Amino acid sequence: MLTSFLDKHKLADTFINLASSAFVPLAEKIVARQQQDEAPFMIGINGCQGSGKSTLADFLAEYITDKYQLNVIVLSLDDFYYSQQKRAELAADIHPLLATRGVPGTHNTAYIAQLLAQLKKRSGTLSLPRFNKAADNPFAEETWPNIDLPVDIVLFEGWCWGIYPQSTEQLAEPINQLEQDADANGIWRGYVNNSLHKEYLPLYAHMDFWVLLKAPSFDCVYQWRLEQEQKLRLKSTLTDSAKIMSDSEIMAFIKLYQRLTEHCLATMADYCEVVFCLDSRRRIVKTLKQDSSI
């Protein structure tokens, strides 16, 4: 299974050691917990851009499905982004920065709530949304994959999935030049924070288990995001190529994420069952376990 996973995801051979030492034990723990809890067992996975959270979720899904024949699905917060049209409306009504996807407040949280509720049913089918980042719009609904219920395990990953709101004091001062220039009065960051409080916190309650891929610092995000965009370029069509960002655009883009990424790095480990501490090359240098039985 490991060899085929490497080939499918074009990963280096070093991933085998990583998977064997860290990811396989996590998968076994998830299965043990799933057998004790009422299905579906839901795992939240957080990691900044390029940290490897999608690869981790895919590995856990393939490993558990292959070994235990359980019905496992992966949800990505990125697939719930609003369309360009909807974000343009938010930009016109609230703040221009909301035209850019990424931060809380740019996801269709009502649909997430609906989907998580439906996943607790024991029969039927569900359509899972898919977002085309190269085109910056959702794929057509008729192309969304269908899954059969019941589902045993849900792996839900996202860069801001699980992050708690900040305090009023934390919001007061701009964190970078982007906020200083484009959000000096704090309307944008206030809206994002309020969205976290009202829309995202209730969704977190559905998760039974949290995993964090913790970057060493926000400084790594730029290089990791560059690598993501390079992969996106290889997959994109000529029609989509206009939506691929340049290096300078990526630098500006990640500044939208800086506030909450740094907030996550400072706080989220405290309430996750498993924390994989990464170095700048995404190698796990330490594993923290809040659940001593793992």
The alpha-carbon radius of gyration of the chain (Å, integer) is: 19
CA angle, corner 225, sides to 140 and 107, nearest 5?
40
pLDDT tens per residue, range 159-193: 999 999 999 999 999 999 999 999 999 999 999 99
Taking only the tens place, the pLDDT of each residue in 79-100 is 999 999 999 999 999 999 999 9
Q: Work out the mean pLDDT of the chain and round it to a whole number.
A: 91
Q: Omega of the bond prior to 40 within 30 degrees of 0, cis?
A: yes
Distance CA 110, CA 21 (A): 38
Which of 134-138, 152-156, 221-225 tops mean pLDDT?
152-156
Q: What domains, with CATH codes, occur in the chain?
A: 2-289 (3.40.50.300)
Model confidence pLDDT, tens digit, residues 267-277: 999 999 999 99
pLDDT at position 50 is 86
What is the average pLDDT across 7-12? 81
Across the range 151-166, mean pLDDT stands at 97
pLDDT for the residue 17: 86
What is the per-residue pLDDT for 291?
A: 61
For residue 193, how many other CB atoms are within 10 A of its CB?
A: 24
Q: Which DSSP helix (H) or strand (E) runs through 91?
A: helix 84-93
Please, which pLDDT band fits residue 38 given cuts at 50, 70 and 90?
confident
For residue 292, pLDDT over 60 is answered with no
pLDDT above 80: residue 9: no
Q: Which backbone phi and psi does 288 adopt, to 5 degrees?
A: -105, 135
Report the C-alpha gap between 164 and 201 in whole angstroms.
Answer: 7
pLDDT of residue 60: 97
- Please tell me the predicted confidence (pLDDT) of residue 236: 61
Q: pTM value? A: 0.91
Residue 208 tokens, joined: 């039974």
So what's the pLDDT on residue 167? Answer: 97
Mean pLDDT of 57-71: 96
Q: What pLDDT shows up at residue 240?
A: 52
Strand blocks (E) in 194-291: 209-214, 274-278, 284-289
Residues 6+ apart with CB under 8 A from 129: 79, 80, 108, 111, 138, 139, 141, 144
Q: Quote the pLDDT of residue 268.
A: 96
Helices (H), the chain: 2-9, 14-18, 24-36, 53-68, 84-93, 109-118, 168-171, 177-182, 187-195, 201-204, 220-235, 247-267
Contacts with 185 (C-beta within 8 Å, 6 or more apart), sequence order: none
Write the CA distances from 58 to 21, 212, 294, integer angstroms: 17, 15, 20
Q: Are 290 and 214 in contact (CB under 8 A)?
A: no
